[in-house]
Structure formats: structure tokens, C-alpha cells
A and B are shown apart, each in its own frame.
Chain A
């Protein structure tokens, strides 16, 4: 290199040696914790104290996903049901929507047209979702759907409605 470029080289390095470490430290210091959806809209958010009767619990309902599933009732026999999903490992999907669908829910990429959107699930956050009224009268499934990837991630069939509406603890 010629002398003017050696000088320019030294100046560039001196500037980078100051600016880049500062930017690096500032960038790392400003990191937020992993964003997780802790709140779901009030309209579909069941108030936890209302659902005190555990009527179903299982750990292996979701195939490869390690999610504990619990169904709670508000009274016995139930007038309303809520399903609690508790991922035991971090769910690496953004915008995970939770649907309840009557019947076996099929295997199509998107949830059936008549499925009910009951909330969102994120990271390892425990979510309690109010099941729609038909869940007391018909068998149904819970579906996890990734909005970002536009595909169904997993489906779990809930116990039959007769068990759930009977409110017999398992």
C-alpha cells in the first residue's frame, strides 16, 4: 500500500476500534428478554379462579411436543370448560394460535373453517383457554397453528364430551 492509504487505513482502524466495541456493548446491553405473549385478549381470557375443578390431565397428548394438557371446569357438573396448555420445552414457533375444533379436526394444513380461535401460545408460557360452549356437547380437538409458517403444527384430541361434561376428575 502507498503512504496515503496506510494513513487512511490507520484512521479507519482507530475509528472502528472505538465505535464498534461501544456499539457492541450498547447492543448487547439493550437486549430484551425473549418476547412471550403473557396476556391474551380479555374477551377470551378465562379468569383462573373461576376454573378450580381439574377434570383431566395428561402429558403425552401432543406427540413430539412436550406439553402438559389440563381441562378445568368452573363448577361440577361444569357449565363452562377451560383447557390449560403448559409447554415443558420452549416452543420455537412465532405467532402460535390455539383453536378448538369439533370432531377429529382432520389433518389439513389450516384448521377447519368452523374451528374456534381460543387464544395464543408462546415460548414456555402456560396458557389457560376458555373452550366454546359446544365442547360440553360434542367431542373436539385442540389445534396449534403457526400463523408465520401458515401451517398446522400439532393437534391433540381431548377426551370425549361425556367425560368432560360429567366432570369426573381423572
Chain B
């Protein structure tokens, strides 16, 4: 929730998050350079930096990609999601340093433009072991740039969350390119089984986590609800909804969050206006539906954020008959007040 844009809306949680992040990156780079200098005394400082930045970016990318599915599988990981964009920007800076040093080291000493040398220096596209792996890294770096450059809320608002999310889902394309860049590049020269095993485990971890989360996510989208003559659909029993929490159901082409609080039932669109977070997985705090992702808040009765904030989500007409919750699938315009259904009436 912001009334004016700043570079970063700092708060205590973000400061702790970023301190841990920066300390972790500095510690990793220090350890990598120190151990590298001991075990590879002939390696130059540039080589150690290229490897250090590259492996740090790769490790951080695996952490970043794990956060989303971990949060879908267990809400205890949600604090990691809160400031994930700073992880992404840090990862881009590490990858940029890796790419920059590599281009200077391997391409800047000739009489050809270094970037042309990256793109056209190697052309054996038909060979796996000699495949031009550097253009793959450059393409991934371009995607990471686009994501880092558009990470501010200004872009989220102006591109709209679905377009912004679609743009940022390019991270999977970047991940694929980076895995190929490493397998066809560094792992062709470094034949130690440990390095290949580490990347293999990382790849398996990311893919298995995503497949598990995708399977869990698919279930609520497959259930359909029968409609009565007045158009209302019978969703669930009141008793199925925990107090100050929601039942989530796919109604009207998207998920609806049906909240129970203070003896009342209200239904709003499950899609947070900020980053399309799942409102139905949040709780009612201080009388307001609170998004589990970044804490954006909405009144359950009208789907509007309290003044002075302006976010609004569509609301749904709802009624309770015989202990069952009925929701009308036609959404009301965002911010429309709807009389909550009283439990027991």
C-alpha cells in the first residue's frame, strides 16, 4: 500500500531481510575466493571472481525459485516471499558481475566488439560439448535485467499484476537457459562429479517442488458447484470455514474467498489488487482481510482498502441457508458494499 512512490519502502522486516541477504552474499564470495585461492593457487583473481559471482547467482536463483512452491506447500515459508524481489535484484547484480568479468576476460582483448565476439565467436551449434554456451548466458542475463528493471511497484501498477506476473514468469525461461549455460559451459571443462551432482540435485529440487505445488494448486480449480434457480451456487457448510479465515472456491471463472468473522459471512474476489496474492489464504486481522503475501488489507463487506488507500476488489452476494453458504457467481464492481450473511438467520 503506497500513497507515493519511493525507491524502497523500508521497514524493519525488509532491513533484516536485506541484511541477512547481503551478509550471506559477502560471506559466500569471501569463502569462495579464500578457498579457491588455497585449492587452486594457479587460478587468477579474475577467474575466482567470475566463478564466485556465477556460482553465487546460480545458488541464489535456486533459493528464489524454491520460495514460491514452498509457500504454496507450507505457509510457514511466507516471510521469505515478502521481499523476494530484493533477492531477484541481488541475483541479477551477481549475474551481471559474472557476465561482465567474463566478457572482459574472454572477449575484450581482441579487435572485435566483445558482445559480437560473445554472439558470433563460437558457431558449433550441432555439437553438444562445443555448443556456444555464452549466448545462452547472455540471453538469460537480458531476461534477468528486464525483471530487475521492472521490479518496482510502479511497474506492477502500470503493467497491471497479470501482465507483470506473466513478464516475471520469464524467470523459468532464464532458468532453463542458465542450466544449459552451465551444463554446456563450465561442466564441460570441470569434469569433477561433485559439480555435476550439485547442479543435478538443484535442478531436481526445483522441478520436484514446482510439480508438487502445481498438483496441490490444481485441485481447487477443478471442483465445480451446482447452481440453484436463483443463480446462487452451494459452496460449503459454514462449519467448514475456520473463524477469521476463508474457504476458497472457483466461482465465476476465478477463485472467490468466503470469509467467516464475528458471526457473519462475506465473499470477495481471491485476487489481491497489489500482486494478485491469494486473499483467501490470509486472515482477518483488525477486522480487515489481510493478504498473506505483502499485507495489503481490504474490508470484507465491500472489498475496499481502508482510507487513505485506494485498492478495491470485486465482491459477491452471499447468503446462508440451513448452515450452508450460497454465493452468487456474478461479481459486483470492485468496492461494492454487500450486506454480510448472518450465520444462524
Contact = CB atoms under 8 A, between A and B. Distances in A.
Contact of A2 (B169, B203, B204, B271): B271
B152 to A, nearest CB: 20
Contacts of B308: none
B129 A13 contact: no
Interface of A is mostly: helix
A113 interface: no
A26 interface: yes
Contact of B169 (A9, A19, A28): A9
A26 B184 CA distance: 9
Interface residues of B, number: 41
Q: Classify chain A's interface size.
A: 20 to 34
Nearest to B278: A1
Nearest to B127: A30
Interface string B24-48: 0000000000000000111110000
Contacts of B187: 27-28, 31
B180 A1 contact: no
B214 A13 contact: yes
B191 A149 contact: no
Contacts of B129: 30-32
A4 interface: yes
A23 B221 contact: no
B291 interface: no
Interface stretch (B52-60, B76-84, B171-179): B171-179
B321 interface: no
Contacts of B179: 20, 23-24
Contacts of B240: none
Contacts of B271: 2
B49 to A, nearest CB: 15
A149 B106 CA distance: 10
Interface in B181-215: 183-184, 187-189, 191, 196, 199-200, 203-204, 207, 210-211, 214
Given A23-B183, A30-B128, A92-B40, A16 B207 contact: yes
A109 to B, nearest CB: 14
A4 B180 CA distance: 28
B339 interface: no
A4 B172 contact: no
A17 B276 contact: no
21 contacts: A2-B165, A3-B250, A3-B254, A4-B162, A5-B165, A5-B166, A6-B221, A9-B169, A10-B214, A12-B169, A14-B214, A16-B172, A23-B179, A28-B187, A28-B200, A31-B129, A32-B129, A34-B191, A91-B42, A92-B43, A93-B42
Given A6-B221, A28-B200, 4 more contacts: A2-B162, A3-B221, A26-B128, A92-B42
